[in-house]
Amino acid sequence: MIKLSLVNFDHVEESKREKLQQLIDARLQYFNELFKRYPVDVPLEIKFQKKPSGWKVDVMIKMQSTTLYFEESGKNLEKILGSIFGKMKKQVKKQKAIERKDYEYKRAKYRKKLLSQKDFELLIELRQKGDRQGFDNLMKGVYDDLHADIKENYMADGKSEDEAEVLTKELMEKIKQEVYQTFTAMKDQREEFLDSISDISYYYEQQG
């Protein structure tokens, strides 16, 4: 969720404020959707400075991994804000993708400790036999970790613990089904398989 702070907005002519506020609110709808499942609130500061030649606007948005800064000058505040929001959209999406990739790398690295090579080779045998129950039982450690991760995301999105648990169980059933049905790994593909689970999880979380 975006936490907006407008600095020196009262320096703007009163007749122009309402239209500018509408412009800002419209753009914030996009960013609030983008950060819908972000684990923390995202401070966004927009600072207005009156200059002899017009206006200077400074924008700061603080994400988990970094703080992004933008500035623009000119006479037309609508054009200034439009330009800044356009640049911010590109940079925020890029940074969010970097954060997601880093997060998934860390989670996948951790999950690789939860399924040994020996168990992975047994997993292949179980899949070849069509033993879904045995497959899921062997994957329990990985699935439990994924369950906790998804539930945490739901709670960060404002769901109660009970609501998050129900939604997570529903999502996990879809993920387990997809993992089992698409499993075609060979003995030397343990890491690739565990990486693919993160991709499947991310896809279904976005669908939800």
Looking at residue 208, its pLDDT comes to 60
Q: Which amino acid is residue 1, in one-letter code?
A: M
pLDDT greater at residue 141 or residue 46: 46
List the domains of the chain with CATH numbers: 2-98 (3.30.160.100), 112-207 (no CATH)
- Reported as a single tens digit per residue, the pLDDT across 39-98 is 788 999 999 999 999 999 999 999 988 999 999 999 999 999 999 999 999 999 999 888
Q: pTM, whole model, 2 decimals?
A: 0.61
Q: Which amino acid is residue 92, in one-letter code?
A: V
Q: Stretch 128-136: mean pLDDT, rounded?
A: 94
Looking at residue 67, its pLDDT comes to 96
pLDDT at 112 over 90: no
Beta pairing class for 2-7 and 42-51: parallel
Cβ atoms of 24 and 46 within 8 Å: the answer is yes
- Reported as a single tens digit per residue, the pLDDT across 27-52 is 999 999 888 877 788 999 999 999 99
Q: Which residues contact 156 (CB under 8 A, 6 or more apart)?
A: 37, 38, 39, 40
CB burial of 7-22 (b: ≥16 within 10 Å; e: otherwise) equals eeeeebeeeeeeebee
Looking at residue 109, its pLDDT comes to 72
DSSP helix, strand, coil percent of the chain (3-state; round to 5): 65, 15, 20
- Rounded to 5 degrees, what angle do the CA atoms 140, 150, 61 make? 150
* 98 C-beta neighbours (distance < 10 Å), count: 13
